[in-house]
Amino acid sequence: MKKLTLCLSLSLLLFVSCEEDPVDPDFDLRDEYVGSWTASEDSDFFGDQTYAIEVSKSDTSLTDIWVTNFYGLGNNTLTVMEVNDNNVFIPLQTVSGSEVSGSGQSGIDFSEVTLTYGVDDGSGVDQCTAVWVR
């Protein structure tokens, strides 16, 4: 009888520990990325550069963020990026006459984003890596 009680107790504990956490209907992952960042970029063409960027939520997609001044292209430019958990995807697009694409990841606490991307203004692809910090 003791074995049966122990087995039932363990089974109940296992069942309870496997329940999924409730999902907050107001949670928007993009909020983790929104705000001002400092980008430290290593470019094959231009070397090390540092510049400010601003991230906001897209109003046309639930997974996209908008980045101004990406690659130092100016505060009037807009680069679209898709976020999925800690992954960032830069789909191929033309920004201020340059084709950009790439990908990256944020840290687990979203305080840093590391990206690898290419930028082609028609003179060849500039391979870049960048780290964004708040």
CATH number at residue 118: 2.40.128.420
How many structural domains is the chain composed of?
1
What is residue 48's three-state secondary structure? strand
- On whether residue 93 sits in a domain, the answer given is yes
- On whether residue 18 sits in a domain, the answer given is no
- On whether residue 8 sits in a domain, the answer given is no
Model pLDDT, residue 14: 53
Is 67 buried (19+), middle (13-18) or exposed (0-12) by CB count in 10 A? buried
Model pLDDT, residue 19: 62
Model pLDDT, residue 25: 82
- Supply the Cα-derived Rg of the chain in whole angstroms: 21
Model pLDDT, residue 124: 97
- On whether residue 20 sits in a domain, the answer given is no
- On whether residue 17 sits in a domain, the answer given is no
Domain carrying residue 117: 28-133
What is residue 70's three-state secondary structure? helix
- For residue 96, how far is the Cα from the chain centroid? 22
Residues 6+ apart with CB under 8 A from 110: 32, 33, 86
Amino acid at 76: N
Q: Encode the chain (134 residues) as per-residue pLDDT tens digits.
A: 555 555 555 555 555 555 666 778 889 999 999 999 999 999 999 999 999 999 999 999 999 999 999 999 999 999 999 999 999 999 999 999 999 999 999 999 999 999 999 999 999 999 999 999 99
The Cα–Cα gap between 17 and 11 comes to 10
**Other C-beta atoms within 10 Å of 26: how many?**
6
- On whether residue 103 sits in a domain, the answer given is yes
Model pLDDT, residue 22: 74
The token duo for 117 is 């991307």
The Cα–Cα gap between 86 and 29 comes to 9
Model pLDDT, residue 117: 98
